[in-house]
Amino acid sequence: MRRDRERLLDILEAIEKIQKYAAYGRERFNDDELIQTWVVHHIQLIGEAAAGLSEESRKEYPEIPWSAIVNMRNILVHAYFKIDLPEVWNSVENDLPVLKAQLQSMLESETD
């Protein structure tokens, strides 16, 4: 069974993989189906890892929208043919940098 720390590291790794291709910009994202698929897949991994976190960890960091993260994963998995790519890009651009900083802070506070 994976521990919360491992799941948080999984989320950070997925964010970094998304950011690698997001750096090419929105136009490239819009034009490249492979990048879209890459990003969606890694957002799904983020949601899966978040869903597996203990309730204790989620409650300790209520400022992180855990349920929204898991809900986005569920939408991407179960409504795959109705994915709203502008909404995905919005998350990449606005939500993931904030989440990355929050997770890095969580992990740093664990080692203090």
Q: Please give the positions annotated as active site.
A: 73
Q: H helices within 2-32, ranges in order? A: 4-22, 26-31
> How many C-beta atoms surround the C-beta of residue 110 within 10 A?
10
Identity of the residue numbered 13:
E
Q: How far apart, in whole angstroms, are the C-alpha atoms of residue 33 and residue 47?
A: 21
Number of C-alpha atoms within 13 angstroms, CB side, residue 53?
Answer: 27
